[in-house]
Chain A
C-alpha cells in the first residue's frame, strides 16, 4: 500500500473530522430532544443548540463532499508526484516529537488531576523531558536543561502552592 501524499492525508483526515462532527451533531440532537420546554419560555432551551446542530450537519456535509472530491482528484494525479523528499522525512521527526510532547502533557495533567506526584516533581520532570525531546542533538546541554527545569519548576511550585495557594498536589 502506497503512503498518502501530505495533501491527500490532510483531505482524508478532514473527511474523518467532518464525519465525526456530523455524528456528534446527531448525538447532541438526540440529547437535546429530551430537554422539555418550560411553560414560561417562548424559546425552548434546546431550540438554539438544535438549530446549530442542523447547521453543522449541512456545513460539514458540504466540506466533506468537497474534501472527497479533492481526495479523488489528488489520488488520480498521485502517480505524477515526485517521491518523498528530505523535507518530508524531516516532518516525520516533528510528528514524532509532537506525539511525545502530547503524551507527556497528558501524563502531566493526569499526575495533577489524580494527585499522583507532587506538583514540583511533575513540573520539573515535564520540563526536562520536553526540553530534551525538542532540543536539537547538537545543541542539547544537559546542564542548561537540568538547571532551567529545576529553577522554573521549583519557582512555579513555590509561587503557585505557597504564595498563591492553588490546589495543586503538594508533598
Chain B
C-alpha cells in the first residue's frame, strides 16, 4: 500500500498529471477518428518521448492508451465506424441505438461501462498483480494454443446465421496472417519471392483497410452519405443514466469486468477479444438474445466494460513479466526499453516507484477519460451532424496516413487498398468481418504456441488431450461451437 501511495504521489505531480490528461485527451480525439489508432499515435509519439523523463514518457503513453480505447466508441456509435477494433462489438448495438434516436444514452452507457471496467481491472492490477502473473506464467504453450482456439470458436459463433461463412472468413483471416519469414525456421513462405512480403502483411494497414477505408467504400455503395444524419433527442430524460441502470446491468458489468480483466492478462490477447468474448457471453445470458445487433443496451455495456478492463489486465503481464498483453503494450515496452528500463519481474524490484506510479496513472487516466468524454460528448457527437459526403474523403486521407505512419513503406498502402476492397466485397457478400479480423490477429499466436509446445515435448501431441487445461478449453470450444448450430437445427425442425 505504501508503494502504491508513493506511486500516486508521483503520478499527481503537476507535470505528470498534465501529461496524463493531455495523453487521454489526444487519445480520445485520435481514437474517435476511424483509421487513426492509439497504437499509431504512440508510435508517432515514441521519438518525442526521447526528450522526456522516463516516468513522464510512460504516463503520457498510458493516457493515450486509455483515451484511444474509449475514444473510438463515439464514431462506432454515431457513424458505424469503430475508431479502434476494440470498439467493433460496441458498434453492433451502439449504431442501431443511435439510429433509434438513443445516441446520447448509448454514449453515456458506454462511458459508465468503460469506467466500471477500468476501475475493476485497476483493482486487480494494483492488488493482485503479483499472484496473477505467477499463475499466468504456469500456462504451457499448449494451454495458450487451446485458449486461442477457444477465442476463435467464440468469434465464429457470433455469425451463427451464416456459420459456414463465418468459419470460412476465420480460416481466410488466419491464412492471410501467415505469409512472410517464419520466425521459427527462418524460411520464407507464401511470399512468391517478393522481398516486400518477407515481413508479412502489416497489422495496421490491414485494420485501416478493413475498418476505415473499406467502411468508406461500403457507405458509398449503400448510399449512407446521402442519408440524413441521426438526430439525437436533446433534453430527453429517458436518455440519461440513473442508479436503476446500474442495477439492471449489474450482473453484466461484473461478468464483463471479470472476462475483460482475465482475457487482458493473457499475453497477446488484448481488448479486441475481451469485447468479443464478453459480448457473446452477454448474448448467451440474455433473456432477449434476439435484440442483440438491433440496439441492445447489454451489448454496448458488455463490450465497453470488457475492452477497458482488458487494458488494465494487459498491463499485468506487460509490467510483471515483460510479455506484451496487446499491440499497444508492445509499444509501451519499447518506450520503457529505450529509457533503459527493463520490464519484467525485476521492474518492481529495481524501479518499483515507476511501476506503481504507472499503476496510479492508469487509474487517473480512467477517471479523466470519463470526465473528458462526458464533457465533450456533445461536441464529439456533433461529428454525426457533419455531412458524410464531406467526412468520408477526410477518412480516406486519414486512412492513408494511418496505414503509412507505422511502417512508412509503399507496401503498407497497397495492403490498405487491397483489404479495403476485400472488406467491401466480403460485407456485400454477407461474410462476417469480425471472425476474419480476429483470426488474422490470433492465428499467428496459435501457430507459434503450437510449435513451441511441439518443440518442448519433442513432437508429442498428447498434452493437447491429456493435460487438464487444454482438454477443458477444447471441450468448451466444442460446446460453444456446437450449441448455436444445434439451436438453429432445432429451430428449423
Interface residues of A (CB under 8 A from B): 10, 13-14, 17, 21, 28, 31-32, 35-36, 38, 41-46, 48-49, 52-53, 55-56, 59-60, 62-63, 66, 90-91, 94-95, 97-98, 101-102, 105-106, 108-109, 112-113, 123, 126-127, 130-131, 134-136, 139, 144-145, 148, 152-153, 156, 160, 164, 166-168
Contact = CB atoms under 8 A, between A and B. Distances in A.
B221 A148 contact: no
B400 A112 contact: yes
A98 B421 CA distance: 11
Given A108-B400, A123-B397, 4 more contacts: A59-B167, A113-B410, A134-B392, A134-B393
29 contacts: A10-B430, A13-B425, A17-B425, A35-B187, A41-B185, A45-B187, A49-B178, A52-B171, A52-B175, A55-B171, A60-B168, A63-B164, A94-B220, A94-B222, A94-B226, A95-B221, A101-B217, A101-B220, A108-B396, A113-B410, A113-B414, A126-B393, A126-B397, A127-B394, A130-B393, A131-B393, A156-B397, A156-B401, A160-B401
Contacts of A160: 401, 405
B450 interface: yes
B413 A112 contact: yes
A53 B190 CA distance: 11
Interface string B442-466: 0000010011001100110000000
Contact of A127 (B167, B397, B401): B397
A59 B408 CA distance: 36
A40 B400 CA distance: 42
B192 to A, nearest CB: 6
Contact of A43 (B167, B174, B189, B450): B450
Contacts of A101: 216-217, 220, 392, 396
Instruction: Pick from B189, B397, B455, B458 the residue with the most CB of A within 10 Å.
Output: B397
Interface in B413-437: 413-414, 416-417, 420-421, 425, 428-430
Given A101-B216, A166-B401, A42 B171 contact: no
A9 to B, nearest CB: 10
B243 to A, nearest CB: 44
B213 interface: yes
A31 B450 contact: no
Given A36-B187, A108-B400, A13 B168 contact: no
B294 interface: no
B404 interface: yes
A35 B192 CA distance: 11
B52 interface: no
B53 interface: no
B440 to A, nearest CB: 12
A43 B141 CA distance: 14
Contact of A56 (B171, B190, B222): B171
Given A42-B459, A102-B217, A136 B428 contact: no
B225 interface: yes
Contacts of A14: 429
Contacts of B44: 164
B14 interface: no
B478 interface: no
B131 interface: no
Contacts of B413: 109, 112-113
B165 interface: yes
B221 A94 contact: yes
Nearest to A96: B220
B189 A109 contact: no
Interface string B164-186: 11011001101100100010110
B209 to A, nearest CB: 11
